[in-house]
């Protein structure tokens, strides 16, 4: 009797662990690069996005931030955007990825080199 009860408890625990893993959201993966001219390219995986925002830091003047809507919401994709504005010599670019539920993931900042 004790063996059956112990076996039943073990099965329930194993099922609970696997169920928890199946319901856990995957961690998004982002890759971003910035060229010396301020051209930003990036990819994402394991995230359904609604928009991407890019902001540049310049040594002189300023660049206009760019907001890119993501019309299709696959869990992966890519983007490319060029810096616009009166800025010169971009130092870095910060990219913010916003999920379809409106939550922004931590921004990714890369040097423009």
Instruction: Compute CA distances 2 → 8, 16, 77, 81, 96, whole Å.
Output: 10, 21, 53, 65, 55
Alpha helices in 24-78 (DSSP H): none
* CA gap 69, 61 in Å, rounded: 26
6 pLDDT more than 80: no
pLDDT on residue 1: 53
pLDDT at 3: 54
Average pLDDT across the chain, whole number? 84
pLDDT, tens digit (0-9, with 9 covering 90-100), for 30-82: 999 999 999 999 999 999 999 999 999 999 999 999 999 998 767 899 999 99
pLDDT at residue 72, as a whole number:
72
Which phi and psi (to 5°) does residue 7 adopt? -65, -40
Instruction: Tell me how far apart the alpha carbons of residues 56 and 107 are, in angstroms, rounded to a whole number.
Output: 13
Residue 25 pLDDT > 90: no
Structural domains in the chain plus CATH codes = 27-111 (2.60.40.2550)
The set of long-range contacts for 23-26, using a CB threshold of 8 Å and a minimum separation of 24, is none
């Amino acid at each position: 009797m004790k063996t059956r009860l112990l076996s039943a408890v073990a099965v329930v625990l194993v099922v609970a662990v696997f169920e928890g893993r199946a319901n856990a959201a995957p961690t998004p993966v982002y890759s971003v690069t910035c060229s010396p001219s301020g051209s930003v390219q990036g990819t994402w995986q394991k995230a359904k996005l609604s928009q991407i925002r890019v902001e540049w830091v310049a040594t002189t003047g300023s660049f206009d931030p760019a907001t890119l809507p993501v019309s299709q919401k696959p869990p992966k994709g890519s983007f490319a955007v060029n810096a616009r504005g009166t800025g010169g010599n971009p130092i870095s670019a910060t990219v913010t990825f916003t999920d379809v539920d409106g939550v922004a993931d931590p921004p990714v900042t890369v040097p423009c080199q």
